[in-house]
Copies of this chain bind each other. A is one copy, B any other.
Amino acid sequence: MPETPSAARRSERARAAILTATADLIRELPYAKLSIESIASRAGVGKQTIYRWWPSKGAVVLDAMLERYSSPEGLVLPDTGDIRADLRLLLRGAVAELTDPDSEAFLRAMYIEIQQDPEIGRYYRERLLLPQRAALAARLAAGVEAGQVRADLDTEVALDLLLGPIQSRWSLGLDGLTEAYADAVLDAALAHLAP
């Protein structure tokens, strides 16, 4: 039976309340303490309302993250014509995102889920990670066209060389994640990327 217009509005309000409650709680609670129950209680809905739409806590968290960080137009990196400048902004932005308390809480939750829930991992890669990597790959391809990046580039290796140092330093809890560090990683990676 299709929802009536007012039931659809109620559904939409409940869904928004659940995602907002999740985004709030993910900063307030250690991830192990975040539960469907705590989200339901904060959102003012029943647990069954959440389970009607999401199979697990990780799935709600991922949707709350998509709601906040994905853009409907998809992701395109700026192309100023200067590959070094564009990549510098990108890597500094990655450091800023990983050290911002809001996005950091979401990302740590995703790292936990990826290690233990293959479904969430797959969904996270499809919806967030691979589009981000594709946008960077497109920027590198434009750099190849412009003669600023080597033509025989292995794109996967290039992406990991740029992003891997920052991601692994962060995920292992090593300190020193600064703009200066991002710039140094870029210089090092460019030794390989340059024609």
Contacts and interface: CB of A to CB of B under 8 A. Distances in A.
B171 A165 contact: no
A161 B173 contact: no
A188 interface: yes
A154 B30 contact: no
A156 B176 CA distance: 9
Interface string A144-181: 00000000001011101101111111011110100001
Nearest to A122: B173
A184 B154 contact: yes
Given A168-B160, A169-B160, A184-B154, A112 B116 contact: yes
Nearest to A130: B174
Interface string A93-121: 00000000000000011011011101001
A122 B164 CA distance: 21
A157 B161 contact: no
A192 interface: yes
Interface residues of A, number: 41
Q: How many copies does the complex hold?
A: 2
Interface of A: 30-32, 108-109, 111-112, 114-116, 118, 121-122, 125, 129, 154, 156-158, 160-161, 163-169, 171-174, 176, 181, 184-185, 187-189, 191-192
Given A114-B171, A125-B173, A164-B164, 18 more contacts: A31-B116, A108-B116, A111-B171, A112-B115, A112-B116, A121-B172, A154-B184, A154-B188, A157-B184, A157-B185, A160-B165, A160-B166, A161-B188, A164-B167, A165-B165, A171-B171, A188-B189, A191-B191
17 contacts: A30-B116, A111-B111, A112-B112, A112-B115, A112-B116, A114-B171, A115-B171, A158-B188, A160-B164, A160-B185, A161-B165, A161-B185, A163-B168, A164-B169, A171-B171, A188-B192, A192-B192
